Structure formats: C-alpha cells, structure tokens
A and B are shown apart, each in its own frame.
Chain A
Amino acid sequence: AQSVTQLDSQVPVFEEAPVELRCNYSSSVSVYLFWYVQYPNQGLQLLLKYLSGSTLVESINGFEAEFNKSQTSFHLRKPSVHISDTAEYFCAVSDSLASYGKLTFGQGTILTVHP
C-alpha cells in the first residue's frame, strides 16, 4: 500500500517570495509522482509529474519538483510566487508497475500568496 503525507496544511507567503511545499511518500514499489493544483471551485489540474529519468521536473508556470528516492520526497518549489498561485496543491503517487496504478493523494496544502 502507498501513502502520501503533505507536511504543511497551510502555507502563507508574500508575493515574490520563494515557497516550498513538502511531500513525503511511502511505497514498497517503484512509483510515479504527481503534483496537482486546485483553484477555488474548480477541478484539479496536473501541474507536473515524475515518471523516470531526470529527478528534477518543471512546470510551464515556474514550479519545479525534485524526486529524492533516498528521502522518499517530492517537494514542490517556486523561486518567486504570484498572487495567482494562490490555490490548494495536492501531491499524489501511483505504483509504476501496476496495470492500473491507483492514484493516492495527500491531504493537500493551501498556498496563500499575500500582496
């Protein structure tokens, strides 16, 4: 069985400051890792994913995440946030070897960017 722990339920930050949203996972098998973003009253949108290869993955809007196998982490970072980044962020994991690969989500981190 897999599990995901997002270490912060809420992260307040000022505009243009850096931010890190922390995610740790537990799994006995090889995994795929994902970050999703949910804006108010909307569905989730895929932000970025790690399947294999380079451990640093980037999104089109400046976020990046690094897969650290030894620490079983997949923290999300952005060097300078904008007001528009205010949203809830979910880390998720799936078994890369399973035919279906159920997606297990963390509890979510609410990022609030203040002017």
Chain B
Amino acid sequence: NAGVTQTPKFQVLKTGQSMTLQCAQDMNHEYMSWYRQDPGMGLRLIHYSVGAGITDQGEVPNGYNVSRSTTEDFPLRLLSAAPSQTSVYFCASRIRQGSGYTFGSGTRLTVV
C-alpha cells in the first residue's frame, strides 16, 4: 500500500531508555518530517529532511536525532527518554513545496 508507514504503533519506555521510531514511505517523496502532537498544542515540528543526506532541526529538536540515508526511510531516535517526551509522533512526507503532506498513522509513546 502506497503511503507512510510508522512502527511501532504503541510504545512504553522507562525514563533514560533509548529507542528508534521507524518511518518509511514508498512514494519517492523528497520532503519528510517528524511532528509531535500534544493536546491543545497542535503539531510541532521536530526535525525535517529535504532529501537523502540532508536534515535540519525544527521547532522542538532537543532530545531527538534523525538521519536520512535513503529517500524512503527517516527514523527518529530518542536518545534518553524523558516523561516530557510522552506524546503522539507523526511522520509525514510530501513531493514538493506547496503539496499536501501524507501522514503516517502515528506512534503513541509513553515514558514512565
């Protein structure tokens, strides 16, 4: 199925643990982004990429790392999980500036 695939769908971490949220798209989109969604705050941009090998920070990058070794994959790494990182994470991709984003179904992360 064409689209953006995120894994896992749910995850519980202990404070201090690390993990990687996976994101893959099969639409050959150059632009990919990670957002976190928190109640009453909309979506906030964590990191984004405009192509393989090119990444940059968004609005709330602290505590997260990304890499883009291929066009298809854009994993998000939590280095040392904190309760403040409890959120729903969305990966999204688009083909060009001005086109709409295609969003994945999200990863619900709880840090205890």
Contact = CB atoms under 8 A, between A and B. Distances in A.
Is chain B found bound to chain A in the same assembly? yes
Given A43-B106, A90-B43, A102 B97 contact: no
Contacts of A46: 100-102
B33 interface: yes
Contact of B98 (A32, A43, A105): A32
B74 interface: no
A67 B92 CA distance: 25
Interface centre among A44, A100, A105, A106 (most CB of B within 10 A): A44
Nearest to B106: A43
Contacts of A103: 33, 45, 101
Place the interface of chain A in its size category: 20 to 34
Nearest to B31: A100
Interface of B: 4, 31, 33, 35, 40-45, 48, 50, 56, 58-59, 90, 92, 97-98, 100-106
Interface of A: 4, 9, 32, 34, 36, 42-46, 49, 51, 90, 94, 96, 98-108
